[in-house]
Amino acid sequence: MGPNDGKTQVEFHAGVTAEDLWQTSPDALLVVEAGGVIRGANPAAHALFHYGAEELVGRSVEDLVPEAARERHHVQRREFENAPHARPMGTGQRLEGCTRDGDVFPIHVSLAPVGSGSKLTIAAVRDMTAWMDAEQSLATMRRRRDLAEDHERIARQLHDTVIQELFAAGMALQAIQAMSDSEPAVRIAGIVEGLDATSRTIRSVIFDLSSPIHSEHGLRSRATGLVGELADLLGFEPHCQFAGPLDTAVPDSLVEDALAVLREALTNVARHAGATTVDIRVEVADELSVEVIDNGSGLPAGSTRHSGLANLATRALQRQGRFNAYTAPTGGTALEWIVPVVADPEPEGS
């Protein structure tokens, strides 16, 4: 049953007919009789539910909702048939449609009785997938805004209180150092140096917190995870120091290279160095610097051709950076891998 049964057409001032609206409506339109049998469906309805032309006519309207919701929909439809009046359906609840292929998607349905005593209802069905996606995106943006506000508040508190208190403590200790004997003065100097390092770390955290972008999968986070994975291989926990916005300012491709450098360096220590301690420092500013120092046996002659060190040199060269490996003055091996943050890697073989 279509909108023009009975040879009645509604003419509008612009010459637009009801048939025009029926054919061109972007919403799916269904004419449903009492009992839930579909008597008319426009082209948009067939497209929305993936049925061929006229295949919806004669089917139950319950075929267009997920199987799990059909009994509930049947009850709701009977309630509407007992007291029909124009109304949006599903206010305060989530409605879903189901295609012929079984795909489920969110919908909004508006209902209105047709004429008086016809026992026909016209249902306008709208696919709400894009709307739901937009709503989800908006909710995500709001969560990010709230998180950014929390980060800014924490950064401000760290700067205005913790940093200032550490600075004041360092000044007080330096004053005491000036009046102390040599041995206590040396110990106080070490404490002051530790406070300075803590202040630098906190400033790095403040920078990260103040950044508009923060990633749980950035270099700081992933490097920490990698070091934890390799601690069993080493037999001890390396000491790590991170500086700069490692989780916000390092591109993904550079993160992968830096992790490869750390993995190669720590694996070499575990296999060849016989070390009991490893100090790792990863810092980013204009350059990304990865430094690994152990207290092992140092580099044997010609070792740059072995143990993957040549690979680390190649990675640095491809990024217009530099790599150095040497035996430290106090023994053990020191590795330095330094590359520009903004440089793109050169293609292999260039």
Answer yes or no: do 145 and 94 share one domain: no
Q: What is the pLDDT of residue 292?
A: 94
Residue 341 has pLDDT above 80, yes or no: yes
Residue 178 has pLDDT above 60, yes or no: yes
How buried is 12 (Cβ within 10 angstroms: 0-12 exposed, 13-18 middle, 19+ buried)?
exposed
Distance in angstroms (rounded) separating the CA atoms of residues 9 and 3: 8
Range of the domain at 106: 18-127
5 lies in a domain? Answer: no
Mean pLDDT computed over 189-199: 81
CATH number at residue 256: 3.30.565.10
CB distance 62 to 75 below 8 Å: no
Answer yes or no: do 34 and 118 share one domain: yes
The tokens for 1 are 């049953």
Answer yes or no: do 154 and 122 share one domain: no
1 lies in a domain? Answer: no
Residues of the chain with pLDDT > 70, as a percent, come to 85
Answer yes or no: do 207 and 223 share one domain: no
Residue 262: band (very low, low, confident or very high) from pLDDT cuts 50, 70, 90: very high
Answer yes or no: do 208 and 219 share one domain: no
4 lies in a domain? Answer: no
Residue 188: band (very low, low, confident or very high) from pLDDT cuts 50, 70, 90: confident
228 lies in a domain? Answer: yes
Answer yes or no: do 195 and 317 share one domain: no
CB distance 320 to 343 below 8 Å: yes
CB distance 325 to 335 below 8 Å: yes
Q: What is the domain count for the chain? A: 3
Q: What is the pLDDT of residue 261?
A: 93
Terminal CA-CA length for the chain: 71
Phi, psi for residue 5 in degrees, rounded to 5? -60, 140
Answer yes or no: do 181 and 56 share one domain: no
Residue 182 has pLDDT above 90, yes or no: no
Q: Which of 105, 127, 149 is the last residue of a domain?
A: 127
Answer yes or no: do 220 and 343 share one domain: yes
Residue 289 has pLDDT above 90, yes or no: yes
Mean pLDDT computed over 169-184: 81
Q: What is the pLDDT of residue 119?
A: 87
Q: Which of 214, 235, 256 is the last residue of a domain?
A: 214
Contacts of 340 (CB under 8 A, 6+ apart): 286, 287, 288, 319, 320, 321
Answer yes or no: do 196 and 219 share one domain: no
CATH number at residue 89: 3.30.450.20
Q: What is the pLDDT of residues 53-92, one digit of tens each?
A: 889 999 999 999 999 989 988 898 888 888 888 876 555 5
Block residue for tokens 């609840």? 93
Q: Which of 127, 150, 183 is the last residue of a domain?
A: 127
| Per-chain mean pLDDT for the chain | 82
Answer yes or no: do 42 and 89 share one domain: yes
Answer yes or no: do 106 and 82 share one domain: yes
Residue 93: band (very low, low, confident or very high) from pLDDT cuts 50, 70, 90: low
Answer yes or no: do 48 and 146 share one domain: no
